[in-house]
Amino acid sequence: MAEANAVKSIQALQGVRLAGTPPDSLWNLSIQHPEEESPKGVIASITPYSRPDINENSAPASYPLVLPALTHPHIHLDKAFVHGAPEYADLLPSTGSFQEALSYTSQAKARFTTPDLLRRGGWLIAESVASGVTAMRAFVEVDNAVELTCLEAGIKLKKTWKESCYVQLVCFAQDPLFSGPHGDENRHLMETAIRKTEVEVIGATPYVEATTADAKRNIEWAIDRAIELGKHVDFHLDYNLDAGKEALVWHVVSTLHAKGWTTKAPGKRIMLGHCTRLTLFSNEEWNRLASQIREYGLPISFVGLPTSDTYMASPPAASDNPPQVRQRGTLHVPDMIRKYGLDAVVGVNNVGNAFTPWGAPDPLSLACLGVGIYQKGTQTDAELLYECVSIRARAAIGLGGPSSGLSLREGQDADLLIIYNVDETGLGTPRTRRTVAEVVWDPPGRISRDVTYAGQLAMKPFAAERVASSPGTTVVLV
C-alpha cells in the first residue's frame, strides 16, 4: 500500500465529543486489540474526560467529534471514474438517457484491462476511506464481455486494502441471464464466479431481461444459488417510473417465502436497490408490502440511490410532460423507515460514469443531499440520515452491530469517523461542527476527517500532524 495509506493501531482516544451526549461533554475511549492473526479492535471502555487546564482557549467545542464510521451499502467498483480515464474519452454522455448509459458502459467494458480496473478501483477505495468509509458492498460485473476480469481485479483490491476497509464483493450480472444472444453464456460464467470464496453476495438485474417471465427466472435463479451457497443476494430492481409495468418486488418477496429463505439461508440478507417504480405505490400498496415482509420474517433492506435515481429515473419516453414538470424518482428512505417500518438505507451507487456523471464517493455528501431530497431538516432527521450511511447501512449488508442510535457502545467494533476542528479555508477561520446535524447539514471536507478501521488509524498525510498537535486531545498509538 502507498505510504499515505499506512495504518497505526490506536490504544486510546482521550478528550473527544460523542453523539448522544451533551455537546460540551468530553470522553475517553480505550481500544482493545485481541491477540489474533487478524485482530479486530473493539471499544473496551468509554469514560468521562476531565482536565484541569481546560479554559476558554481550549473549550470542549474545539475538541473532535467521534461518530460511527461510514459504509457504502451499494457501490460499483469496476465502473468508477470511467469519465476520468483517457481511454474512455469518447464515451461521455450526449443525451443522458438510460439506454445511452447501458450502451456506453458496454462499450467501456470491452476496453477494461486489469491495470485500468486496479487504478480506478483504487481511486474509489482511497477516496472512500478518506471520507470515513470502513466497509463497502462493491459490485463487480461478470458477463461475456469481461468474463472474470472485473472479479479478479476486485479480489486483488479487497486484499490490497484489507487493513483500511472491508470490501464485500458482489458477483454481479448487469446483463441478461436468460434472454438475448449471450444469456446462457452470462449465466454459465456467473455459475463459476459465484462459487469463489471471496464472493459473499450474488447480484443480478432482472429488469434487463427481454420479458417479465425471464426477469422472474432471473430472480428465482439468484435466490436458488444464494440459498445453495450460503450467500447474500442483491437485486437491482424495478428501475423505472412506468405505472404500466409490473413491480417485480412482489415476485421477490413471494419467491423468498416460497423457497424458505428464513430457514434455508440463516443470517443471510436480501438487498433491493433503486426500486423507483415503488415511488408510484399507493399507501395501501406500501402497507401491504411492509406487512408481507414482516409476516414472512424476511431480512430485506431497500437501498435508495438518489444521485443515480434523480439523474436516470424518469417517466417513459412517450410522456408529454414538459421538462419542468417531468417527474424524477427515488425511494423516500426516511418515510419507509418511520411510516412503514421497513429497513432502508442510502447508497452512492455509481461515480463518474454514464449512469451517474456527478457526485463523489462520500456518504456524508449523500446524507446532506437527503435533507433536500426528502425535505427532512430537523436534528432528528439528520441523525437518521447519518445512520442510513453508517450503522444502518453496515447492518443491511450483513455486518451486524446496532442498526439505530449513534451512541458508541463498549464492545462495539472500533470503526470510527473522527471530525476535527480544522481551518479548511486557510484564512484562519476554523468553524466547529459540534453535533451530528451540523455534520450532515454542511459536511466538513476530507481534510477534517480521520478514520479508524478495526482500531487502526488510516494515516493520511495530514493525520499525523493532528495526532501530535490537536489541542487537548490525545490519540495514543500502540
In this predicted model, what pLDDT tens digit does every residue of 37-52 receive, in sequence order? 556 899 999 999 976 5
Which of the four CATH numbers 2.60.120.460, 2.30.40.10, 3.10.20.30, 2.130.10.10 does domain 10-68+406-477 have? 2.30.40.10
Q: pTM for the full model?
A: 0.93
Q: What is the structure's pLDDT at 4? A: 42
Q: 3-state class of 188 per DSSP?
A: helix
**Are the C-beta atoms of 146 and 109 separated by less than 8 Å?**
yes
Question: How much is the pLDDT for 3?
Answer: 40
Burial string for 20-42 (b: 16+ CB within 10 Å, else e) reads: eeeeeebbbbbbbbeeeeeeebb
Instruction: State residue 316's pLDDT score.
Output: 65
Domain ranges of the chain: 10-68+406-477, 70-315+326-376
Q: What pLDDT does 150 receive?
A: 98
Backbone angle region of 352, left / alpha / beta, with phi > 0 → left and psi within -120 to 50 → alpha? left
The one-letter amino acid code at 350 reads N
In which band, very low, low, confident or very high, does the pLDDT at 256 lie, cut at 50, 70 and 90? very high
pLDDT score for 238? 97
What would the pLDDT profile of 132-143 be if each residue is shown by its tens digit? Answer: 999 999 999 999
Pick the closest to residue 51 from 30, 19, 27, 71 (CA basis): 27
Lowest-confidence region among 15-19, 316-320, 355-359: 316-320
Cβ(275)–Cβ(237) below 8 Å: yes
144-180: per-residue pLDDT in tens? 999 999 999 999 999 999 999 999 999 999 999 999 9
Q: Average of pLDDT values for 259-287?
A: 97
- Residue 471 is predicted with a pLDDT of 55
Mean predicted lDDT score pLDDT of the chain: 91
Inform me whether the pLDDT recorded for 395 exceeds 90: yes
Whether the predicted pLDDT of 313 surpasses 80: no
Share of the chain above pLDDT 90, in %: 76
The model's confidence at residue 199, banded by pLDDT at 50, 70 and 90, is very high
Phi, psi of 264 (to 5 degrees): -95, -15
Mean pLDDT of 434-441: 95
Given a cut of 60, whether residue 245 has pLDDT beyond it is yes
CATH classification number, 70-315+326-376, choose in 3.90.650.10, 3.20.20.10, 3.90.25.10, 3.20.20.140:
3.20.20.140
